[in-house]
């Protein structure tokens, strides 16, 4: 898992790399700018596209100057630079790059405080005004310039981070920023990119490697970790020769009600396709025909038989579409504790009866979306606060909290948060949560730890959706398709 590091840690990594590589700081800026230009050229291959590079006078601005020079060197023939001279301070690397830029034909205009800003006629604006050095909200001339750029409604590509966005996750709703369609960021995504509030500031980001010392970055203390494909390959255990269904555990899904039987069937299907050796459904009897038709492999357990059969199960998933049968949840908490996934209506029951939280089996997995989370732990004005509560609760109660979001945050008992990057907006359809729950139960039944199960299920769930979008071209992905695509994803590992 890769560390997500703070701006201060990034500065340390910068300094460390300069000292130990060794590399001059201006050469590191050149490397960063080259990496940016490589990514930019993929986005805008037309050398005649008109580009306005807006630069501050710090190192983000220094990058902008180097980028303008490099683009011109690559044959981009309509590059203009604006420099915002709103402070007398400039960094050494900015100054060096300004001298270098003056040796090229690129047009440079400088703006002093209160200067009138000309109309922006270029098609693309590169935002190199302020980067990770931001230490206060935008005001005065900075704000005026950023608003001028936003009002021009051009394509905006930000260098490292959109101007005005704080890097470290806390995003006040009222703070103005530039709006960037694309962010080309250095070495690591900034923590803020994973918080839904960042959608007001940016559409997409991509990370480019600028050769900072990776060992140093990975050695830094980090509360947030990115789940990488390599982590999944390492965690995932391929099926062994001579293994049998007993090797892969028995999952019990307690779900479904008259009008929400589909949730139970989706959940069971996901368990089946995620490799549980056996899957049993505790659903209302009226759902049996549908279950047998859709998934004849799944067995049935009547509500009344649960106490007698409980010993047979290795992991329990409870909640999807449980509806009026939700009292079952409290009953199950009185039986012998088993690895458990708590979702949907069972989460609502927890919210109504908070004392049940203390009765959850150790290291249970909770899978709330935002509303379920707030019902459970109180309203949160920002995602930063919500994630902080998730960390506190996971740590204090020894739970794994899968806080569902465009980038799902997995808060684990040791206080860290794993960030899952797979998944896409085409998957924003009903039933996806039921599928995730089924997958989690299946992985628990197979003997994975709750942390591993959460990581695998979130990653593979999103990866199946990503495949369906990328390879099959689906604009909208229904949950059943994700289930059927899971084996192919597993085989890929
Ligand atoms: N390791 C890396 O990732 C590398 C990053 N590079 C680039 O460097 C920037 C960070 O550069 P830095 O010089 O530290 O900071 P900025 O350019 O972002 O900001 C410059 C100064 O602006 C002032 N400031 C901060 N907030 C505001 C504001 N709201 N309004 C006005 N001015 C503001 C502040 O100075 P003060 O003296 O006023 O406190 C900043 O110092 C990084 O983002 C990358 O683009 C390197 O090029 C390569 C390595
Ligand atoms: K920027």
Encode pLDDT of 113-152 as tens digits.
999 999 999 999 999 999 999 999 999 999 999 999 999 9
Do 212 and 350 belong together in one domain? no
pLDDT of residue 490: 72
C-beta 91 within 6 A of ligand 1? yes
For ligand 1, pick from 16, 27, 28, 59 the residue to mutate: most ligand atoms within 8 Å of CB: 59
pLDDT of residue 489: 78
Domain termination site, one of 221, 240, 268: 221
Do 196 and 314 belong together in one domain? no
Separation CA 338–CA 322 (nearest Å):
19
Q: State in Å: Cα 48 to ligand 2 middle.
A: 23
Do 144 and 189 belong together in one domain? yes
Domain termination site, one of 203, 221, 239: 221
CATH number for position 468: 3.40.1190.20
Averaged pLDDT of the chain: 96
Do 364 and 401 belong together in one domain? yes
Do 316 and 368 belong together in one domain? yes
**Going by C-beta distance under 8 Å and a sequence separation of 6 or more, which residues neighbour residue 332?**
254, 306, 316, 318, 340
Do 266 and 198 belong together in one domain? no
Average pLDDT score over residue span 163-171: 94
Q: State in Å: Cα 255 to ligand 2 middle.
A: 48
Do 207 and 315 belong together in one domain? no
| Domain membership of residue 334 as a residue range | 229-492
C-beta 142 within 6 A of ligand 1? yes
Is 136 marked as binding a ligand?
yes
Average pLDDT score over residue span 237-246: 88
Q: Look at residues 214, 221, 141, 154 and name the one whose alpha carbon lies nearest to residue 182.
A: 154
CATH number for position 85: 3.40.50.10260
pLDDT of residue 493: 75
In the chain, pLDDT over 70 holds for what percent of residues?
A: 100
pLDDT of residue 184: 98
Q: State in Å: Cα 338 to ligand 2 middle.
A: 49
Number of domains in the chain: 2
Do 381 and 247 belong together in one domain? yes
Atom of ligand 1 nearest to the CA of 212: 1
pLDDT of residue 187: 97
Is residue 22 reached through a cis peptide bond, with omega within 30 degrees of 0 on the bond before it? yes
Average pLDDT score over residue span 430-438: 98
Separation CA 393–CA 338 (nearest Å):
20
Separation CA 61–CA 82 (nearest Å):
10
pLDDT of residue 383: 96
**Which residues fall inside 5 Å of ion ligand 2, going by CB?**
127, 131, 158-159, 163
pLDDT of residue 409: 98
SS percent in the chain: helix, strand, coil, step 5:
45, 15, 35
Domain termination site, one of 191, 221, 251: 221
pLDDT of residue 43: 98
- pLDDT band of residue 4 (cuts 50, 70, 90) is very high
pLDDT of residue 15: 96
Q: State in Å: Cα 152 to ligand 2 middle.
A: 17
- pLDDT(246) > 90: no
Tens digit of each residue's pLDDT (9 = 90 or more) over 442-490:
999 999 999 999 999 999 999 999 999 999 999 999 999 999 999 877 7
Separation CA 478–CA 221 (nearest Å):
39
Do 311 and 439 belong together in one domain? yes
Do 41 and 97 belong together in one domain? yes
Do 6 and 117 belong together in one domain? yes
pLDDT of residue 57: 98
pLDDT of residue 474: 96
Burial 468-485 (b: 16+ CB within 10 A, else e): bbeeeebeebbbbbbbeb
Looking at per-residue pLDDT, the higher value among 266 and 240 belongs to 266
Burial 38-76 (b: 16+ CB within 10 A, else e): eebbeebeeeebbbbbbbbbbbbbbbbbbbbbbbbeeeb
Tens digit of each residue's pLDDT (9 = 90 or more) over 292-322:
999 999 999 999 999 999 999 999 999 999 9
Average pLDDT score over residue span 402-417: 97
Q: Whose CA is nearest to atom 16 of ligand 1?
A: 133
Q: Whose CA is nearest to atom 32 of ligand 1?
A: 134
Q: State in Å: Cα 61 to ligand 1 middle.
A: 8
Mark out the alpha helices in 163-251 (DSSP H runs). 214-219, 229-235
Do 69 and 213 belong together in one domain? yes
Decide: helix, strand or coil at residue 26.
Answer: helix
pLDDT of residue 488: 79
pLDDT of residue 286: 96
- For residue 110 the two structure tokens come to 């400088």
pLDDT of residue 209: 98
Three-state SS string over 54-74 comes to EECCCHHHHHHHHHHHHHHHC
Average pLDDT score over residue span 390-394: 98
């Amino acid at each position: 898992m890769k560390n997500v590091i703070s701006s201060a840690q990034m500065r340390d990594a910068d300094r460390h790399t300069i000292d130990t590589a060794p590399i001059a700081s201006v050469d590191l800026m050149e490397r960063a700018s080259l990496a940016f230009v490589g990514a930019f050229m993929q986005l805008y291959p037309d050398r005649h596209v008109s580009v306005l590079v807006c630069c501050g006078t710090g190192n983000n601005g220094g990058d902008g100057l180097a980028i303008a020079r490099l683009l011109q060197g690559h044959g981009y023939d309509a590059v203009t630079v604006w420099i915002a001279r709103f402070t007398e301070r400039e960094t050494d690397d900015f100054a060096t790059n300004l001298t270098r830029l003056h040796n090229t034909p690129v047009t440079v205009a400088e703006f002093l405080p209160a200067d009138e800003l000309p109309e922006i006629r270029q098609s693309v604006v590169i935002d190199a005004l302020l980067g990770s050095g931001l230490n206060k909200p935008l005001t005065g001339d900075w704000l005026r310039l950023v608003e001028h750029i936003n009002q021009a409604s051009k394509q905006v590509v930000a260098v490292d981070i959109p101007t005005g966005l704080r890097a470290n996750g806390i995003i006040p709703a009222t703070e103005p920023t530039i709006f960037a369609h694309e962010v080309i960021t250095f070495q690591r995504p900034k923590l803020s990119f994973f918080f839904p509030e960042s959608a007001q500031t940016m559409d997409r980001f991509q990370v480019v490697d600028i050769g900072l010392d990776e060992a140093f970055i990975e050695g830094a203390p980090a509360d947030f970790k990115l789940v990488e494909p390599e982590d999944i390959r390492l965690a995932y255990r391929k099926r062994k020769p001579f293994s049998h269904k007993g090797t892969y555990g028995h999952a019990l899904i307690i779900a479904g009600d008259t009008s929400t039987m589909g949730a139970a069937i989706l959940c069971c299907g996901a368990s089946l396709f995620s490799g549980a050796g056996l899957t049993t459904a505790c659903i209302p009897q009226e759902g049996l025909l549908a279950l047998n038709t859709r998934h004849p492999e799944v067995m049935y357990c009547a509500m009344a038989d649960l106490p007698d059969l409980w010993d047979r199960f290795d992991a329990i998933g409870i909640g999807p579409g449980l509806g009026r049968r939700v009292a079952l949840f409290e009953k199950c908490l009185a039986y012998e504790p088993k690895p458990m996934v708590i979702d949907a209506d069972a989460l609502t029951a927890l919210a109504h009866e908070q004392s049940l939280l203390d009765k959850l089996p150790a290291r249970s997995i909770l899978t709330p979306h935002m509303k379920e989370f707030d019902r459970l732990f109180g309203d949160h004005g920002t995602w930063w606060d919500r994630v902080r509560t998730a960390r506190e609760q996971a740590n204090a109660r020894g739970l794994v909290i899968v806080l569902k979001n465009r980038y799902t945050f997995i808060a684990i008992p040791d206080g860290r948060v794993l960030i899952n990057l797979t998944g896409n907006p085409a998957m924003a359809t009903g039933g996806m949560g039921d599928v995730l729950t089924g997958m989690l139960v299946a992985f628990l039944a197979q003997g994975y730890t709750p942390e591993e199960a959460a990581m695998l299920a979130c990653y593979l769930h999103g990866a199946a959706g990503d495949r369906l979008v990328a390879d099959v071209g689906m604009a909208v992905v229904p949950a059943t398709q994700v289930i059927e695509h899971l084996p192919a994803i597993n085989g890929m590992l």
